[in-house]
Amino acid sequence: MTVEEAEHAIREVVPKILDELPDEVRSITQNLCVRVENEAPPDVLRKEECRALAYYHGFSLRDRSVFQPAGWPDEVVLLAGPISRFATASGRDVREIIRICLIHELAHLVGLTHARMRELGYTFDAPTKDR
């Protein structure tokens, strides 16, 4: 699978996944931006130990304060290059990879830990340190 094919699949699948979310979950995504990049920037690679398929940028709902002014939207970034390489290497369906990545990153928005996401099946990797 090429990066371009992965990017096309991401752009096709993400709106469908967001539309399928329960109303309670969809309501918290009103100030959320979902972007596609080919590769992660260096600062994300260092933080994620070079294994990121996607990443979340923002403050989880549990870490927010009523005293914080509303700011830029929270952001989920899906990485077409790593997703295409993972789909090719693993033989997994790229749409399922995208779905799990998006739900995993939305779980950061609500403050779930990596341990809990592993329990729910929203990770691909071995246990890692929770952030």
Measured distance CA(98)–CA(54) in Å, rounded: 9
> Is the separation of the CB atoms in 94 and 9 below 8 Å?
yes
CATH code that applies to domain 3-63+72-120 = 3.30.2010.20
Beta-carbon-side half-sphere exposure of residue 61 (alpha carbons within 13 Å): 14
Query: What average pLDDT does the structure give for the chain?
Result: 81
pTM of the model: 0.79
Task: Say what the pLDDT of residue 65 is.
Answer: 62
Alpha carbon 65 to its chain's center: 23
Which of 30, 28, 34 has its CA nearest to residue 12?
34
Q: Which stretches in the chain have pLDDT values below 50?
A: 126-131
Please, which residues have CB within 8 angstroms of residue 39's CB and are 6 or more apart in sequence? 79, 81, 82
